[in-house]
Amino acid sequence: MDPKQRNVLSLALIVVLVGVAWWGFWPLDEKITQGLDIQGGLSVILTAQETSATPVTSDVMERAELVVRNRVDRLGASEVTVQRQGADSLLVQLPGIDNSQEALDALGTTGQLEIRDVESTDATGNIILGDILLTGDVITDATIGTDPNTG
């Protein structure tokens, strides 16, 4: 093969490769996951406040991280990161979140225990809740155990 044919073949191969690469990544906004720096979103640092009843320990931070992950998962954001920052903080990054205030409200509120009456169920089996019968503020102590009579 002479040098001119080799150059034409090399050029054709390059054009094919560029075409395949372009086709594989087009449209870019659907094929490439965009992070917080490109598509915007919310980045927040949550810092634990020690109380007289609950010191900030590694176990407390692990539970807090789990609670934050569960709340963030319910927001429906993708590529979310929740990571520890030092001994008492969590860095939460939510790229592409549409409603930042809703996300902040979900992250910043304290969970509340409510025992509610079940009013009914709809056609798909979803439970329709009725009145609040009891809230967590009346509970003074709780333990985990097994009933010795019933197991």
Residue 115 bridge partners (DSSP): 134
Q: Rg (Cα) of the chain, in Å, rounded?
A: 27
Annotation: CATH topology of 36-111: Alpha-Beta Plaits (3.30.70)
pTM exceeds 0.75 for this model = no
Q: How many CA atoms lie within 13 A of 120 on its CB side?
A: 3
Tokens representing 102 are 């809703």
pLDDT digits (tens, 9 = 90+) for 88-126: 999 998 887 778 888 888 887 777 888 889 888 888 888
pLDDT band at 35 (very low <50, low <70, confident <90, very high): low
Residue 19 near residue 11, CB atoms below 8 Å: no
Tokens of 77: 């954001």
Task: Pick the closest to residue 107 from 95, 116, 94 (CA basis).
Answer: 94
Please tell me the distance from the alpha carbon of residue 126 to that of residue 103, in angstroms, as a whole number. Answer: 25
Answer with the residue of higher pLDDT: 3 or 30: 3
Domains of the chain by residue range: 1-32, 36-111, 113-142
